[in-house]
Amino acid sequence: MRFTVYLPNCMNVAAITQPWEHSLTGHDIARVAHSAEQLGYSMVFLPEHFLTPTEHVELSGNHYFDATTAQAFVAGATSTITVGSMVTILPLHHPVVAAKSIATLDWFSGGRAQVTVGVGWLKEEFDAIGVPFNKRGRLADECLAAMFELWHSDSPSFDGEFVKFNDVAFGPKPIRKPHPLVWMGGDAEPVLRRAARFGDGWAPWLTKPEELPAKLDYLRSQQGFNDRPFSVFYSLAMLSVGQEHTIVDDPNAQFGQSAQQVIDNCNKLAELGVTDTWVNPPPLNDFNAYLDHMQWVAEEVVPKVD
């Protein structure tokens, strides 16, 4: 199993974010990414939102970045670790601009870009930006198809419902071939079908651990999957977050304090098909305690997980 790090102070979600995170600067976040790289973690992640409706601020917060811009900053502070999003709300981006920004990140980072595609859940955010919320799934599918055309083809052309281009050139192409890592975030069947068609991985949010095998069977049965290498990200921390970021009091959401409890939890997830995880920290007092927890996981847990 590969171990990742969700970068602190990149969201203020009441169910997960700890009070000490609010004082962290960009320099501090870059320090976390650099430490994760030195400790052997595989990837760092950060989320994305553009606007938060006032009624959602208490649970969701209003502290989010444009994912690709923030990823580029983190990539510049590191050398080898993969720099990802969790998630990029793709329907809120024009596919040509998204393809260019992600390819730019991948090119400058030497092939270390990753994007987890989400279709979004805040209708008010879509309304404010002028994107039809009820078409977000179709938009995501077309965005991905158009982006792949730009990344893969030497003479890209596309004739879709929402985007059209022809007689154009696109460069530089991404360093990673055939394209930067693309995971699909979400739980519904259309997400699984999208993952089978386009994805290098799947990152559920509201799915329970015991539901993973059936959903993975469904995903792998879909047209386009073809048994390619595929990642499954799952963290027990997500059990504390419900629909629309409500707080869920699930006793399985927090890992135990002992290394063996964490190891056992990770091995159980691996048996369910999980390939990548994030070990969320217990309540901590400060930033240094967070860095210590990362080192503890790297030294006491990672070597003992199958």
Condensed to tens digits (0 to 9), the pLDDT of residues 90-144 reads 999 999 999 999 999 999 999 999 999 999 999 999 999 999 999 999 999 999 9
pLDDT of residue 306: 80
Query: Cα(57)–Cα(49) distance, rounded to whole angstroms?
Result: 12
Give Cα 6 to chain centroid, integer Å. 9
Q: 276-278 and 231-232: which strand pairing? A: unpaired
Residue found by looking up tokens 């052997």 in the block: 40
- Domains of the chain by range and CATH? 2-6+24-232 (3.20.20.30)
Amino acid at 161: E
Q: What one-character DSSP code corresponds to residue 286?
A: S
Maximum Cα–Cα distance for the chain, whole Å?
A: 60
pTM: 0.95
pLDDT of residue 255: 60
Query: Which segments of the chain have a pLDDT < 70?
Result: 254-256
Supply 153's token pair.
Answer: 């083809």
Residue found by looking up tokens 């979004």 in the block: 120
Query: Cα(45)–Cα(64) distance, rounded to whole angstroms?
Result: 13
Supply 122's token pair.
Answer: 């805040």
pLDDT of residue 72: 98
pLDDT of residue 256: 63
Q: What share of the chain is helix, strand, coil (3-state, %, to 5)?
A: 45, 15, 40
Angstrom CA distances, 203 to 115, 156, 237, 260, stand at: 11, 29, 13, 25
Radius of gyration of the chain (CA): 19
pLDDT of residue 254: 66
What stretches of 174-299 adopt beta strand conformation (E)?
Answer: 181-185, 201-203, 231-232, 276-278
> Residue 104 in 3-state DSSP?
helix
pLDDT of residue 260: 92
